[in-house]
Structures are given as C-alpha cells and as structure tokens.
Amino acid sequence: MSDIVLKDVSKSFGAVSVLDRVSMRIESGEFIVFLGPSGCGKSTLLRMIAGLEEVTEGEIHLGGRRVDQLPPNERGVAMVFQNYALYPHMTVRNNMSFGLQNVGTPKVEIIQRVNDAARMLEIEHLLDRKPAQLSGGQRQRVAIGRAIVRDPKAFLLDEPLSNLDAGLRVRTRLELAQLHHRIKATMIFVTHDQTEAMTLATRIVVMNNRQIEQIGTPMEVYSRPATRFVAGFVGSPAMNFVPIKSITDVGGNASISFAGQPPIHTAVPFGGLPKNNLTLGIRAEAARISQDGSGIEGVVDVVERLGERTLVYCRLPDQTTLVAEDNGVSAIQPGDAVRIALDGNVAMIFDEAGKAYHAVVQQGG
C-alpha cells in the first residue's frame, strides 16, 4: 500500500507561516495534483512529504507508517525536480543507476531495472549519452527514469514540465499520463498550470494562502468550485463574476437581476442564500451570443478568434466585463451591440466571503 495521509501539517520559517494545518488523504495509485498560484505552499508541502523540509507541526504517514521523522532515503519516495538535477559528467545509464549503487543493489538487478525503465520511457538509445547531448524533454525522461528504477511507494514531481517548450510539454504530459496508467503508482504533481492539472489528475488539490481551498476531481473543481478563488483560478478564460443587484424566489430557486437587465432564473436554491452582496458566477461556455435577440445587453470590446470558438469580451451597462462564446466563424467586431443568453441552470452564486452556492445535484444525473 502507498496511501499518504497528512494530519494537521503546518510549516513555518521563523515567524512566517507557509502552511497552516493541512490535512488530506491520498489513496494508493492516485495521481494527485497540487494546483495553486506561486507562494501558496504547494512545493513546500511536496518537499515536506519528500523529507527535504522539516514539518513544524503535524504528521505525515505513508503506507500506514509515520515518516515525517525519517530521513528522505528511508521514506520510500522518489523526487523528480523542475531542473532535472542530473550529474553532467555521468552518462544516462550512470545517472539512472547511481542511487541504486549507493544502497548496494546487486549489479545484475541494477542493469535489469535501468534497462526496463529505459524501455518504458523509450530512451534505450540514449543510455550512453551525457546530459549535455540531450534535449530538454529527453533530460526530463531520464530524471523520471531515475525515479522509476528506485521502485518507490510514491513519485513526487515538482513542476517537471515548466522548463519545456509548449509542444514538448503537451507530449511529455501525455507520456506522464500513460506512465501512470502502466505502473499504477501513487503520484503527486505540483503545478500552477491548470491544463496540466485538468488533464493529469485523478483529483486536484487547489491551494491558496497556506491552506487547501478544495479537493475534487478535475470536473468537480471546474463545474462546482467550492469558493470564488477556485472558480476564478480554474478555467480558461476565468469564470465571469457579475454583481447581483436583486434576488427573488421563483419556484424555490434564486432569480437574479442586474441593473437594467432582464432577470436570470438560476437552479440555485433560494433558501439559505444571503440576500446582500452576492455575485453571479458563470463560465463563458454558458454565456452565448444570442441569435434571436434575447438575453442581456452588452457592447463588444475585444474579440478572440480561437478557431473552434470565438471569445467575445463584452461590457455590460454597469461596466462589468463578461466573456461570452460565439461560433468559431463569427462576424462580430469590437463596438458591436450584442445580446448574451446566460444559461442559469449552470450558474452559481457567491456570497461576500467567497463561498459558492450551486444547483442541487439530481440523483442519477
């Protein structure tokens, strides 16, 4: 078993608190992504699991054993760093086998493990080269291979794709997903890139301001964010936020209005909602340029043509910007007056503290 349990884990550097009572359980074989902005504590948390940073308070358990008081080499984890951390004077073969040699692994077993990992990562033809003779993507594969040969209980990856160009990042991301499917190991991946999180994760841990904002599957985090921060951080373009002028009860659900605009009927239950300082949250795909003249009014400021869809940045009468979608082949131009149809069934409402209120999930839906 390689489940990981964090119990009220905190980290401080002197008087500066970096992580505050973080608790979670990572099941054996999961691909977990720590996602959040720079400075939120995600890399520090990963390093604490690896043993590269001490725990100020709390406990870390791996496979049923407490490990936060053990040195890194006794925890059963392998780290893949952002900068590869390869020995430049060693061949790929020696880089991958060095850790096994240090712990006295038999030579025959080392050869077998290195060859198996190289075959899995398709770097067999690179084994006798040195890092300077490799591309960035090849170096990253060697770093991953060095972790694989150790046969760890968990892989810890600290922004491993950030030094790659855009095309190589896509390819390496797919390779990581395929690797996880093959070896079914527990993996924790740190990134600030939401695309990496959405495409790789079994579950995403969204972090902000020293704490966990939400843990959920990629679509749970995207479709039902727990807070306004999560809603704004996950998704491209970011979720639209529109101040609500008034709110009424229509059939048990909230019907909202903006200044001078037609009401929007949502599927969010009216009961339990605060009645003041509320904000509508709606994604661009649920705000479509209307073809029949219905919907709220806006004036086009910017048009982004992305091929399969067009993003239209509209200015509402209260000067709020709302991003809507139109077809990929769109005739809309900046300065056009448009109508925007909002799908209230997928809209959400946020209170003053940033808590999200959603439509009730239908059983079997």
Q: What are the backbone dihedrals phi and psi of residue 108, each rounded to the nearest 5 degrees, phi first?
A: -65, -40
pLDDT on residue 270? 94
Collect contacts of 352-358 with beta carbons under 8 A, ≥24 apart. 352/274, 352/276, 352/277, 352/278, 354/227, 354/228, 354/229, 355/226, 355/227, 355/228, 356/224, 356/225, 356/226, 356/227, 356/228, 356/230, 356/231, 356/281, 357/268, 357/269, 357/272, 357/273, 358/224, 358/268
Q: Is the pLDDT of residue 122 over 90?
A: no
Query: pLDDT tens digits, residue range 281-335?
Result: 999 999 999 988 888 999 999 999 998 899 999 999 888 999 999 988 899 999 9
Band of residue 28 on the pLDDT scale cut at 50, 70, 90: very high
Domain 4-227 in CATH: superfamily?
A: P-loop containing nucleotide triphosphate hydrolases (3.40.50.300)
Please work out, in degrees rounded to the nearest 5, the angle formed at the alpha carbon of residue 199 by the alpha carbons of 196 and 200. 80
pLDDT on residue 67? 94
Query: For residue 153, how far is the Cα from the chain centroid?
Result: 22
Q: Is the pLDDT of residue 364 over 60?
A: no
Write the CATH number of the domain with boundaries 240-357: 2.40.50.140
- Taking the domains of the chain in order of start, what are their residue ranges? 4-227, 240-357
Question: How confident is the model over 173-197, as a mean pLDDT?
Answer: 88
What residues have CB less than 8 Å from 149, skipping those under 6 apart? 96, 97, 99, 100, 110, 113, 114, 116, 117
pLDDT on residue 258? 84
Q: What are the backbone dihedrals phi and psi of residue 101, each rounded to the nearest 5 degrees, phi first?
A: -65, -40
Lowest mean pLDDT segment, chosen from 52-61, 114-123, 266-275? 114-123
7 vs 71: CA distance, rounded Å: 19
pLDDT on residue 365? 47
Question: How confident is the model over 58-73, as a mean pLDDT?
Answer: 93
Query: pLDDT tens digits, residue range 35-61?
Result: 999 889 999 999 999 999 999 999 999
Q: How many CB atoms lie within 10 A of CB 291?
A: 11
Query: Cβ distance 84 to 99 under 8 Å?
Result: no
Give the mean pLDDT of the chain: 91
